Amino acid sequence: MIFEILCLDKAEQVKSRTVKTFLYALMANDNLFEKPMMDVGKGEITDSQKKLQLNINQFPTDKMLTGERYSVAFTISVKCDQTKTIDMFRVDLVDYIKAIGFSNVRILLDEVSAKFAASLYPKVYSLENQVRTFMINFFLKNLGTNWTKLAMSGDTLEKIKKRKHNDKIFIANNRIDSDVALIDFDELGRILYNENSILSSKKTDNVAILIEKISLATDLNALKSEVLEGNFYKYFKDCFTQKDFQSKWYELYYYRNKLAHNGSFSQEEIDTCTAICDSISAIIDTAYEKLDTFKLSTSDQEALMAAVNEFASETLQDSFHGSSLYSTITEDILLEELQNAQNKLPFVGLRHFVVEWLGKQGYDFDASFTLINYLEDKGIVKLTKVDNPYGDYQTTKISIA
């Protein structure tokens, strides 16, 4: 491996003005070498104990247009195949170069960091995909196809739209949905460690609903948990908040940025970052283990409906074209319309009921689907897979339970 730097003394503080005197200046530092041998003709120092070779070349400054044209400058190239040795040596070398007066030091080649970064990148890449996959599984399974409206800020969604041409293989030509694939790394983690407040911030404060909960409750502790937290909040608190996910993600974000911007790495940083990756991966694995048994509580579902209705209302207010102006539907109206549909139609398909029957009356599709799913969980309506009387494939039938 090679580590190469350019050092320049524009303040004329360095006493060594030639390769020969600079070699002696380096040789004088006992912390750098153990068994050094110098070859002035080659501008070289070799250390048989550390198994490294250092070469110095004068760097021409007489053609510089700005700054001190006749400043002294050198390039120093260090070659060593022992990772631990050159990892520590390069830091000690730069510190010493600065100490003897070189005010301008630049890295030209750092194969040490390149090796470290190459070993680290697959771990970070794999972990990032693991987190994205978890998000798709959790949110799609529990919040549905429009989960991004609930889990992502408007700014994040807007950024995703602007990045659609970043991937010319799958996304630019609409081969895949890009909502998760194009989330920035920092925003990706923020969705998870802020999730405990997404639905809790939408919790209904309707007194009538609260009174109904109290009157039906048989377990006061369960009631308190249901009203104040809900399963959604508890899931993210147990799986992420209490395991310090946020601070770990922040720290990983630092290393991920270094990878993206060709930053320098040490063995200590690689060890630290690897440990963080392993820890976050374990957090995701644990969250997966609890995913199969997770179910939105009634409080969560009510909060979700409130959020969906809020988005529908915002869409209604933002539309000025006179078309596709949809409003949200209430439980009473939906059940009344479903009863009417059952009386008039021999068969009521779910999609037909939402899109054709309710949609043509001006009711928002998402809000209607969300309310129907909620009513099914409460046992008020029934959804069943049946043979389609109008087609070759099975369809979903909706009826009052």
CATH number of 49's domain:
3.30.310
Do 126 and 64 lie in one domain? The reply is no
Q: Which of 115-119, 166-170, 197-201, 317-321 has the lowest mean pLDDT?
A: 317-321
State whether 125 and 89 are in the same domain: no
DSSP 391: S
d(CA 286, CA 139): 16
Interacting residues of 21 by C-beta distance below 8 A, sequence separation 6+: 15
Residue 134 has pLDDT above 90, yes or no: yes
In a domain, 77, yes or no: yes
| Domains contained in the chain, number | 3
Last residue of a domain, one of 275, 293, 311: 293
Partner residues linked to 74 by β-bridges: 7, 58
What would the DSSP string read from start to end of 128-159? Answer: HHHHHHHHHHHHHHHH-TTHHHHHS-HHHHHH
* Tokens encoding 223: 């009631």
Is there a single domain that holds both residue 225 and residue 245?
Answer: yes
Domain interval for residue 12: 2-102
Residue range 82-92: mean pLDDT, rounded: 97
Show which of 243, 274, 293 is a domain's final residue.
293
Report d(CA 328, CA 346) in Å as an integer. Answer: 26
Could you say which of 260, 293, 326 is where a domain stops? 293
Residue 58 confidence (pLDDT): 93
Please check whether residue 107 lies inside any domain of the structure: no
Question: Does 302 lie in the same domain as 289?
Answer: no
Please indicate, yes or no, whether residues 280 and 319 belong to a single structural domain of this protein.
Answer: no
Residue 93 lies in a domain: yes
Residue 110 lies in a domain: no
Whether residue 253 is found in the same domain as residue 313: no
What values do phi and psi take at 104, rounded to 5?
Answer: -130, 110
pLDDT, one tens digit per residue, over 370-393 is: 899 889 988 999 999 998 877 778
- pTM for the complete prediction? 0.77
Task: Please report whether residue 111 resides in a domain.
Answer: no
DSSP secondary structure code for residue 349 in this structure: B
- Show Cβ contacts of residue 7 under 8 Å, excluding neighbours closer than 6 positions: 73, 74, 75, 76, 97, 102, 104, 105, 106
108 occurs within a structural domain:
no
**Each residue's pLDDT tens digit, 312-345:** 565 544 444 444 456 888 999 999 999 999 999 9
